């Protein structure tokens, strides 16, 4: 089915509901709220894509947008090569914009079309976490030079805290206590702060890295330029260590976070404590990990069921 919208009438009041202008106003509002650079870029890029779709289809006013147009936008995204996660992300951006417009402008005789459009379904299959064997192999590639010491500390803190890669990059020296193992995540998702922890082995690796530092940078982790380590630099480090360990497929930064969650659940951690450590709003994401641990217990029972084993 074609997603080109034919013969759509242009009905708007002298620019009062100009789509482009309202998108710019939405982005300005989000900047004024001091959202993270990552979030601002997400809204900007995804809404630019929506604006482009509307332009192609001669839509310049918000009151031209109907539920059918929103659904066709998502089909257009699929036709132009976006996966389910990308389409869902664009839907969330458009939904946030449309709800904001409704509240901001309080238009008369207008019903928000987003209320009639359901979010596209996502594949609920969880991506594979990095294995403990793979982590050990990557750590083994870290030598005694400065970057080897740094990379070892980075790999271990990613796994031990379950923090997002961007959160690790934003940690300052003053945010961490290597004696107690507490780490203050000041710039979490949604600008929410929280405390996470590192264990004895990670603290030891981190202290070795800090002893090797001879700079005045406030950042906990620095890159080869001497400046704060950026997300791209962290991702490159993971790729480089995975290459040296001859790992296929290569892990992502986020696979360490998945491994943290799954291993904590398998060890019996309370799900509510894990939710707080990971900085989740609710238990919805953790439910996917819980399904895996339920499968673990089922397999274990089949292997060790006392009655079945008694009859062997």
- With a threshold of 0.75, does the pTM exceed it? no
Q: Specify the DSSP class assigned to residue 176.
A: E
Using the CB atoms, write b or e for 215-252: b if 16+ within 10 Å.
eeeebbbbbeeeebbeeebbeebbeebbeebebeeebb
What tens digit of pLDDT does each residue of 196-238 get?
A: 999 999 999 999 999 999 999 999 999 999 999 999 999 999 9
Q: Which residues pair with 228 in a beta bridge?
A: 222
Strand runs labelled E in 120-242: 176-177, 182-185, 194-197
| Domains, in order of start, for the chain | 19-116 (1.10.150.130), 132-303 (1.10.443.10)
Q: What does the alpha-carbon distance between residue 168 and residue 148 come to, in Å, rounded to a whole number? A: 18
What tens digit of pLDDT does each residue of 90-105 get?
A: 999 999 999 999 999 8
What tens digit of pLDDT does each residue of 262-287 get?
A: 888 888 888 888 888 988 877 776 77
- What is the percentage of the chain residues whose pLDDT exceeds 90? 60
Q: Residue 1: pLDDT above 60?
A: no
pLDDT of residue 229: 95
Using the CB atoms, write b or e for 44-55: b if 16+ within 10 Å.
bebbebbbebbe
Q: Specify the DSSP class assigned to residue 83.
A: -
Mean pLDDT of the residues in the chain: 86
């Amino acid at each position: 089915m074609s997603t080109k919208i034919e013969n759509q009438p242009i009905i708007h009041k002298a620019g009062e509901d100009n789509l482009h202008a309202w998108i710019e106003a939405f982005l300005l509002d989000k900047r004024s709220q001091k959202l993270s650079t990552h979030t601002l870029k997400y809204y900007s890029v995804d809404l630019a894509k929506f604006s482009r779709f509307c332009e192609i289809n001669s839509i310049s006013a918000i009151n031209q947008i109907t539920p059918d147009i929103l659904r066709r936008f998502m089909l257009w995204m699929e036709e132009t090569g976006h996966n389910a996660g990308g389409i869902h992300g664009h839907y969330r951006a458009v939904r946030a914009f449309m709800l904001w417009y409704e509240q901001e402008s309080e238009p008369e005789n207008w019903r928000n079309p987003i209320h009639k459009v359901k979010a596209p379904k996502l594949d609920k299959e969880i991506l594979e976490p990095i294995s403990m064997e793979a982590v050990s192999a990557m750590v083994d590639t870290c030598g005694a030079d400065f970057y080897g010491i740094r990379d070892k500390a980075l790999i271990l803190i990613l796994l031990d805290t379950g923090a997002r890669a961007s959160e690790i990059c934003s940690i300052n020296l003053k945010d961490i206590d290597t004696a107690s193992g507490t780490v203050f995540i000041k710039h979490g998702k949604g600008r929410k702060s929280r405390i996470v922890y590192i264990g004895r082995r990670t603290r030891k690796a981190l202290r070795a890295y800090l002893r090797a530092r001879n700079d005045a940078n406030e950042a906990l982790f620095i890159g080869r330029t001497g400046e704060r380590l950026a997300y791209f630099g962290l991702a490159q480090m993971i790729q480089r260590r995975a290459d040296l360990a001859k790992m296929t497929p290569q892990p992502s930064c986020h696979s360490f976070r998945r491994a943290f969650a799954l291993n904590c659940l398998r060890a019996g951690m309370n799900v509510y404590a894990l939710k707080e450590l990971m900085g989740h709003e609710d238990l919805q994401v953790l439910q996917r990990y819980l399904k895996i641990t339920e499968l673990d217990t089922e397999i274990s029972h089949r292997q060790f069921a006392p009655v079945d084993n008694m009859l062997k």
